[in-house]
Amino acid sequence: MLYALSTCGHCKSAKQFLEDNGVEYDYVYVDLLDKDERNKVLEDTKEINPRRAFPAIVVGEKVIIGFREDELREALAL
């Protein structure tokens, strides 16, 4: 799962990395949600992303904050 902002360069890089490597994933652009949906997503993800930094990528039990290619490769066994 990729939590991202539509205007974030690091988020776009993370999304492109996943696509380039054939990884199936779901994503949500948090900034494009309406106020109620955005607040719900931020509340639901508060434990895994307390600073509300983006991108926030969840791979199984692992949470990667920011576009960290090495960590993503390891988590995805690429």
For 24-48, what is each residue's pLDDT tens digit? 999 999 999 999 999 999 999 999 9
Q: What CATH number is associated with residue 44?
A: 3.40.30.10
Q: Three-state DSSP class for 78? A: coil
pLDDT tens-digit profile of 55-71? 999 999 999 999 999 99
Instruction: Report the 3 state secondary structure along 4-62.
Output: ECCCCHHHHHHHHHHHHCCCCCCEEEHHHCCHHHHHHHHHHCCCCCCCCCCCEEEECCE
In the prediction, which pLDDT does 53 show? Answer: 95
- List the domain range (segments joined by +) for residue 51: 2-75
Instruction: Determine if the pTM surpasses 0.75.
Output: yes
Q: Into how many domains does the chain fold?
A: 1
Token pair listed for 74: 């390891």
Q: What is the mean pLDDT of residues 3-26?
A: 97
Contacts of 12 (CB under 8 A, 6+ apart): 4
